[in-house]
Structure 1
Amino acid sequence: MANLVIENVKKRYGTTEVLKGINITIEAGEFLILVGPSGCGKSTLMNSIAGLEDVTEGRILIADNDVTYTSPKDRDIAMVFQSYALYPNMTVAQNISFGLEMRKVPKEERETEVQRVADMLQISHLLNRKPAQLSGGQRQRVAMGRALARRPQLYLFDEPLSNLDAKLRVEMRTEIKKLHKKLGTTIVYVTHDQIEAMTLADRIAVMKDGEVQQLGTPQEIYDNPANLFVAGFMGSPAMNFVPVNVILKDDIPMLELATNSAVALPFPKPESLTAHVGKTILLGLRPEMITEPQPHKEGQPFVTTTEIEVEVTEPMGADTMILTRVNGAEINCRSNPAYPAESGSIIKMMFDTSKAVVFDEKSGERLDK
């Protein structure tokens, strides 16, 4: 295990700046996920940590050693790629042991390590097969096994599950989480899948246009997004954004909502709205905070019940998504499947603004920090 320090790292290709001063510190044994849309710079940052890309400015330290200009083979890292990168002419056992062989590890020790890793990943019965005889999930386990056999200071995973089908992706996600808990290894993991990020990470770095927009625990980022981009990117379904007017009611700033009747929603930090009275801002509210009326929430300070018109319903088994329109914005609500809601009907819904956030419409910055 080793800590990792990324210090003001910049990467330019000619005049194009791909990384714009990245600063991240990862503790030994921590699972960090770099997440963001395609082209945000996360893979470039990963390749820079691995030594596959030279940085233009800044420093990278592994276990407090400056490795900024060290070759990949001398960084004591192992990388698992999206494409698996297995040798097709080698058996599973040979693929796993190849790195050890290159390091001149004695044969008996190699065999012991291959068996240890195979047992851990439950692929002992596949050791004599070649990659062409394996399923996608099995190939992914072999690629992980090759990395685990090395016992490096740092593991790098570059979108390792993106080639798998949905069910297998969920299973492998669980396996990776179990492995991390068992081994306590330091992992940097790149993905564009925010569900992977939420379920696997100790901390998440949300990237956009070569910059880290927010670094925090999954819950911090979900509940307290730094800006409009992070709020919209993290969460499935995404956070609802509703343009609302800030009004005064009994001298307290509130948010005006036009459903089937006008209602004023209370806000947890009314003082942050004072400068915006009479203006339109964006209210951010997660779908699970707009539900069918729930008796245990009745009378709570930030709960308001009002009527909405149902546009579409999407049954999802454990719950039902209800699509409606408020203040001209399309929003998702999450309800119990037993709650009657049909397209075109008027139903009561409960808005809980205890975890609501607000943003500037133009800049996308948080207004209630």
Structure 2
Amino acid sequence: MAALTIDNVKKRYGDHEVLKGIDIAIDRGEFLILVGPSGCGKSTLMNSIAGLDNISDGRILIDGNDVTNSAPKDRDIAMVFQSYALYPNMKVRDNIAFGLEMRGVSKQERAQEVERVAKMLQIEHLLDRKPAHLSGGQRQRVAMGRALARKPQIYLFDEPLSNLDAKLRVEMRTEIKKLHQRLGTTIVYVTHDQIEALTLADRIAVMKDGELQQLGTPKEIYDDPANRFVAGFMGSPGMNFIPAQIVESDSGLQVEVSYQGGQPQLLPVPERCQGLSSWVGKQVILGIRPEQITEPLPHLVSKPLNRTISCPVQVTEPMGSDTLVMSELNGVEISARVSPDCDARPDTVLDLSFDMSKAVFFDPKTDERIDR
């Protein structure tokens, strides 16, 4: 395994700048996920790391060695693609061994390595089959096995699970997580699935329009987003964004909300956000996640940053373990997570408890955080 440094990397196609100065330092054995919407530049950055795409400016270093102008074969990187890229005329064992054969590894060593990775990925019974006779998940395991057999310094995964159905994606996520924990390899992984990112990563790099929006642990990205884009992109359903006004009372700073036809109600602003004092009387965007809005529960309502307010129920979406309740505050739709036993019915008004301890606030003009 090796450390990877992406130093002010830029990529231009004519006048169009796809990567706008990306800086990321990846430690040995770290699992980094590049996440963002389609067209944000994450696959371009991945191809640049692999040497499949030349960069316009900046440097790429592996263990301190500048490989910016090195050919892909000289970077000691293995890549797992979205399309599997298996040879259809070869059996599974030959697909796994092919890269080793090209590197001049002896037949005996190739056979030993194939057995090793097949056992690790639980595909020993598939070794004499051809790709056409495998399921999507089995093909993905073979593609991973081919990469693992090489024992490179760095593994690159480019949306490897996007062709799988939902159930199989969850199973393969678990397999990849186990694999990383077992081998301790350095992995860079591209996905547009934010749940995948939160599940797998040691750190997440959130990208938008060729720029790095935030780099941090899954908890940092989820609980402490740098801006409204990151806050809205991570989480399912996404964070609620409520336009509101900051007011000051004897109880300190508060944020004023109401539903159409209802009386204004106040939610407390956490002490860590006292920098918002300069925003008294001004409009802000309150960010609060659905799981922080629930039915009133005894162990929650007594907490100082909890407030119970009335909200109209528009739609309910039973999810099994909980129920999503769609409501409205300050003219925008919000979602709350309540227990499946909660008596939430459309066209009624429901008391909901707002846990403001993790609430965040954004500038409505720039979308940047203002409570830090």
* Structure 1 length-normalised TM: 0.99
Letter in 2 for 1:30: E
Letter in 1 for 2:156: L
CA positional deviation for 1:212: 0.5
- 1:298 pairs, out of 301, 304, 307, with 301
1:64 aligns with 64
Rounded to whole Å, the distance in 2 between the matches of 1:247 and 1:267 is: 10
2:277 aligns with 274
Contact preservation (8 Å) 1:252, 1:270: no
Instruction: Indicate the percent of aligned positions where both proteins have the same amino acid.
Output: 67
- Alpha-carbon deviations, 1:286-305, whole Å to 9, x = none? 00000000101122111001
2:291 aligns with 288
Contact preservation (8 Å) 1:92, 1:126: yes
Rounded to whole Å, the distance in 2 between the matches of 1:265 and 1:327 is: 13
**Structure 1: which 5+ residue stretches go unaligned?**
none
Paired residues in the alignment total: 369
- Alpha-carbon deviations, 1:192-215, whole Å to 9, x = none? 000000000000000001010000
Contact preservation (8 Å) 2:290, 2:337: yes
Rounded to whole Å, the distance in 1 between the matches of 2:180 and 2:285 is: 39
Matched, 1:354 2:357: yes
Pairing of 1:238-277 with structure 2 (within 5 A): 238-250=238-250, 252-259=252-259, 260-268=262-270, 269-277=272-280
Contact preservation (8 Å) 1:261, 1:306: no
1:35 aligns with 35
Rounded to whole Å, the distance in 2 between the matches of 1:223 and 1:53 is: 35
CA positional deviation for 1:162: 0.2
Aligned CA RMSD, in angstroms, stands at 0.8
2:101 aligns with 101
Letter in 2 for 1:234: M
Rounded to whole Å, the distance in 2 between the matches of 1:272 and 1:255 is: 14
Return 266-275 or 320-329, whichever deviates more: 266-275
Query: Segments of 4+ in structure 1 off by > 4 A?
Result: none
CA positional deviation for 1:309: 1.0
Return 251-260 or 114-123, whichever deviates more: 251-260
- 1:331 pairs, out of 327, 330, 334, with 334
Q: SS state of the match for residue 354, structure 1?
A: helix
Contact preservation (8 Å) 1:32, 1:204: yes
- 1:310 pairs, out of 292, 310, 313, with 313
Rounded to whole Å, the distance in 2 between the matches of 1:346 and 1:39 is: 42
Rounded to whole Å, the distance in 1 between the matches of 2:251 and 2:296 is: 28
Contact preservation (8 Å) 1:261, 1:307: no
Rounded to whole Å, the distance in 2 between the matches of 1:174 and 1:339 is: 32
Q: SS state of the match for residue 358, structure 2?
A: coil
Contact preservation (8 Å) 2:137, 2:168: yes
Rounded to whole Å, the distance in 2 between the matches of 1:321 and 1:261 is: 24
2:47 aligns with 47
CA positional deviation for 1:64: 1.4
Matched, 1:14 2:9: no
Pairing of 1:131-142 with structure 2 (within 5 A): 131-142=131-142
Rounded to whole Å, the distance in 2 between the matches of 1:88 and 1:256 is: 63
1:3 aligns with 3
Rounded to whole Å, the distance in 2 between the matches of 1:144 and 1:362 is: 45
Q: SS state of the match for residue 322, structure 1?
A: strand
CA positional deviation for 1:276: 1.1
Pairing of 1:180-219 with structure 2 (within 5 A): 180-219=180-219
Letter in 2 for 1:333: A
Rounded to whole Å, the distance in 2 between the matches of 1:336 and 1:141 is: 38
Q: SS state of the match for residue 111, structure 1?
A: helix
Return 242-251 or 11-20, whichever deviates more: 242-251
